[in-house]
Structure 1
Amino acid sequence: MAAIDLRAELRCSICMNIYTDPVTLTCGHNFCRVCITRTWDHQTESEYTCPECMQRFKKRPELKRNLTLCNIAEAFLHTHLERDNTGIFCTYCDFPVPAARSCVQCEISMCDNHLRKHDRSVEHTLVPPSTSLSERKCSIHKKILEYFCRDDAGCICATCCLTGDHIGHSLESLIEASDKKKEKLRLVLEKLSSKKVEIDKRVHGLQEHKRQLHEKAAGVTERVIDFFVNIRRQLEVLETGILGEIYRQEEQVLRPVVDLIQRLEIKNDELSRKMRHIEELCNMTDPLNVLQERESGTEDFCNTEMGGKEDRGRPDAQVHDISDLHVGPISETLRTLSDIITGLKKGIYMQEPTDILLDVNTAANNIRIAKDLKTVSWSLERKNYPNPSHRFQFNQILSIHSFSSGRHYWEVETSESGDWRVGVCYPSIDRKEHASIIGNNNKSWCLHRCNNLISLAQGSNSNQYSVIHDGKYVHLPHNISSNSFRIYLDYENGQLCFHELCDPIRHLHTFTTTFTEPLHAVFYVWDKMCGNGSWVRVRSLDKSP
């Protein structure tokens, strides 16, 4: 609104455009220098008047440039031109003035002032400001394009309709053709809009999922930090208590030892003094002196040496044995902490592994089961097992027991050749069709190793590992070198985790869902090389990773 008011103040009342080189008359009104000069050129001397207030001047006034107004007008015009997206200016104006319309016939652009004059003079086709006016004319006849040829899908002029290659073609006006195309574009726009809405919903859903994951991760992180802060605090208290107990026991056991050492050192000094005295007696040559000295303390010494009263009261009787330092409870505490840390370093600190036994009644006829019901392998020879309705048709077998609650894990060893899959499935899984293979349906989840024949022939690493559910493969980027794996099931939390039993244990993938049926462990084996090298073995409970 302020820009519109400013434009009105900066508009010359003669040309109705923004001031160009504005000058001020003595009456105070402003005009473009060119506009007032042309106006006065048509007036006689002594009849010069101001177009605004009609004030008369006896002689032609001297025009003085209004520098301040000139700067304001140029700044306003410059700002307006920057905001003008077309960048097309009036052909007639001496100063760059944005064009209002363009004339196709004349191939010129005009501002509002010149457009009014052009409208009164001729009836031409006016279009929004454009620099490509020649494109609106026929390239052959140089006439305005008025029709659309549906046969050639091009715009043509009236002459093209009567002569040339368009005679007899299906024609329609540009407006009709444009309306039809707009209708088609609206239909396309509706489809694109619906797709955009769908994508927006998906993006919003993924963003919400991302936000929830961040919140969950932040919550778990906070709990873990608090947990370990508490553990460190308790460990510090435990450390202080253990060290204090060791110091207390040390002080208790060492106190009599220190006392005894001091007493023995005193006695040792006394003995040394008496020994020096005896040596002096032994070196005397005067018998009388030797005999007289016996009465001055030598007798006490002899009594002491011969087992007197002081010697019989042994001062070391109060000394504790080194076994009196009770380190047993302390060592047991340290051993317990060491076992916990060792378990954590190995990967998963949880309950004992679950014992898995294979259900022979579900085995396909081309797999072999060991007597201990823990090893399954692929066989070229069909076994012709009895054919109950729940036996698999393709290369796999279920566990005897199922899991409908709790946390469980079991460990498997696998062959270095052939194809195998290990995982879990619902008992309602199909048993006959090819889609019954674990991972190929929405009732099973598995870790898969595929032996790629092409890669094998080329001499490259042919082992490809992936996890599969509902036919969707997720290839694992890890360089898996171990043939031992751990499957961890948390039924209530809907998690199935696969780990590689290396040092340290490495997490491979976790499926997260809501389990709706009991789950059986399931094993699939097959050898593309038509050998007998594909097998899977459930680790015994007495084996450790």
Structure 2
Amino acid sequence: MAIHLKAARLCRLAGRTVPSLSVTHRPAVSHPERRCFLSTSTGKNLQFKLDEQTAHSSLDLFKKNTAVIYRMLGLDPSHVQKNPERFQDWAVVFGDEKISSGRHYWEVTVKKSQEFRVGVAEVLMSREDCVGTNSSSWVFGYAQRKWFAMTSNKMVPVTQVGKPDRIGILLDYEAGLLELMDVEKHAIIHTIRAQYKTPLCPAFGLWDGELLTHSGLEEPEGLK
């Protein structure tokens, strides 16, 4: 089923630029609950796939559920299995691993999309919300050729970054840090600070083109 165009626009443009969002800029130098593996800092590097059970009907998964493409028309809802984990109104999909401790790093190829959000969300986040519009999700987004950081429906511009082909996401659960990475320079571009109290999972919103995820990666050296 196609996303209701008015609703989709509200999701994409929701938020306003305010100084209250705790975001720090640094210059470059599923329910999933019963499906997810508990990741910790002592085990293997975080590996995840996109969880088809959460994917909105406008999103198709491919490459063994490591990539997602946006379809304007989407699928007829009658052809999509009903379950409480699926996003019904927003073009959102979650990763199938939950995170409740440790530092974790993954990358996303974004070169084939001009409108997306990537970050983390609480595993039990309401499926009636869009990522970034509530206090249960923290994302970096790209739209209208501009980057922003977003949570609780508050948007802050992310400056001094163009449109790379691939970006990195670094999560430090205990420290409450979500960081946007320059994968070529191995440098932190922007940081969102938060207090995580429940398990999280990788989260993605997509309104154009496609995204490809890369997990199981080592954290870049020199960041700890």
Give the structure with the larger helix fraction: 1
Alignment partners' CA distance in 1, 2:218 and 2:101: 25
Q: Mark the structure with the bigger radius of gyration.
A: 1
Is the contact made by 2:104 and 2:219 (CA closer than 8 Å) also made in structure 1?
A: no
Alignment match, 2:20 = none
Q: List 4+ stretches of structure 1 deviating above 4 A.
A: 540-545
Alignment partner of 2:192 out of 511, 515, 519:
511
Structure 1 residues not aligned, in runs of 5+: 1-346, 453-462, 528-533
Q: Distance in 1 between matches of 2:161 and 2:103?
A: 28
Q: How does 1:408-423 map to 2 (within 5 A)?
A: 408-423=104-119
1:509 to partner: Cα distance? 1.4
Give the distance between the partners of 2:69 and 2:148, measured in 1 at CA. 20
Distance, in Å, in 2 between the alignment partners of 1:538 and 1:365 is 19
Letter in 2 for 1:421: R
1:356 touches 1:410 (CA, 8 Å); kept in 2? Answer: no
Aligned match of 2:64: 372
Q: Is 1:447 aligned to residue 140 of structure 2?
A: yes
Match of 1:391 among 78, 86, 91: 86
Partner of 1:183: none
**Map of 1:427 onto structure 2:** 123
* Equivalences for residues 216-365 of structure 1 within 5 A: 353-365=45-57
Question: What amino acid sits opposite 2:119 in the alignment?
Answer: G
**1:355 Cα shift?**
1.3
CA contact (8 A) 1:353 1:410 kept: no
For 2:218 and 2:80, locate their aligned partners in 1 and report how far apart those are by CA, in whole Å: 31
Q: Aligned partner of 2:55: which letter?
A: A
From 479, 494, 505, the counterpart of 2:176: 494
Q: Quick one: which of 391, 404, 407 aligns to 2:103?
A: 407
Whether the 8 Å CA contact 2:178–2:193 is kept in 1: the answer is yes
Change (3 A) 1:539 1:477: same
* Counterpart position of 2:26: none
TM-score, with normalisation over the residues of structure 2? 0.72
Match of 1:524 in 2: 205
Contact 2:110 2:164 in 1 (8 A): no
Equivalent residue for 2:146, pick from 453, 464, 487: 464
- SS of residue paired to 2:97: strand
Contact residue 59 and residue 68 of structure 2 kept, 8 A: yes
**Inter-partner Cα distance in structure 2 for 1:543 and 1:506:** 14
Residues 544 and 375 of structure 1: is their aligned pair in 2 closer, same or farther, counting only changes over 3 Å? Answer: farther
In 1: Cα distance, 2:91 partner to 2:46 partner: 24
User: d(CA) in 1 for partners of 2:55 and 2:139?
Assistant: 17
With structure 1 as the length reference, what TM-score do the two structures score?
0.31
* AA matched with 1:510: T
Q: CA deviation at 1:526?
A: 0.3
- Measured in 1, the distance between the counterparts of 2:169 and 2:154 equals 19
1:309-348, Cα deviation, whole Å (9 max, x unpaired): xxxxxxxxxxxxxxxxxxxxxxxxxxxxxxxxxxxxxx8x
Question: Matches of 1:493 and 1:400 in 2, distance apart?
Answer: 23
Q: Contact conserved, 2:170 with 2:179, CA < 8 A, in 1?
A: yes
Q: 1:507 to 1:522 in 2, by over 3 A?
A: same
Between the aligned partners of 2:214 and 2:138, the Cα distance in structure 1 is 20
- Distance change in 2, residues 1:479/1:399 (3 Å): closer
CA RMSD of aligned residues (A): 2.4
Identity %: 26
Q: Relative contact order, CA 8 A, sep 6+: which one is greater?
A: 2
Distance 1:536-1:506 versus aligned 2 partners, 3 A rule = same
Distance 1:417 1:490 in 2: 27
